[in-house]
């Protein structure tokens, strides 16, 4: 899960927070651009929720692993 704040009136930045399945903060960052904040939030959420063994695998590799089981 992730959140992105509205633009801070003082800093002018957007704050992103990402949590893992256990409710622990996985990532926090500040960004000048809302689109970049959203992109990084989605990327970090995928990292936090994927099995580390499959995080860097392609779809084809994951499907091959599933078929092998």
pTM of the model: 0.71
| CA nearest neighbour of 28 among 10, 12, 13, 50 | 13
How far is the CA of 7 from the CAs of 17, 24, 31, 39, 57, in angstroms? 14, 24, 9, 16, 35
Tell me the sheet residues that pair with 27: 18
Give the model's pLDDT for residue 22.
87
Q: Which long-range contacts (CB under 8 A, 24 or more apart) does 6-10 make?
A: 7/34
Domains of the chain, by residue range, sit at 2-68
Residue range 19-65, pLDDT digits in tens? 988 899 999 999 999 999 999 999 999 888 877 677 678 889 888 88
- What does the DSSP 8-state code read for residue 69? -
């Amino acid at each position: 899960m992730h959140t992105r704040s509205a633009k801070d009136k003082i800093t002018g930045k957007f704050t992103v927070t990402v949590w893992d399945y256990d409710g622990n903060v996985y990532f926090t960052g500040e960004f000048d651009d809302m689109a970049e904040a959203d992109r990084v939030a989605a990327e970090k959420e995928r990292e936090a929720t994927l099995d580390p063994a499959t995080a860097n695998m392609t779809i084809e590799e994951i499907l091959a692993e599933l078929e092998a089981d």
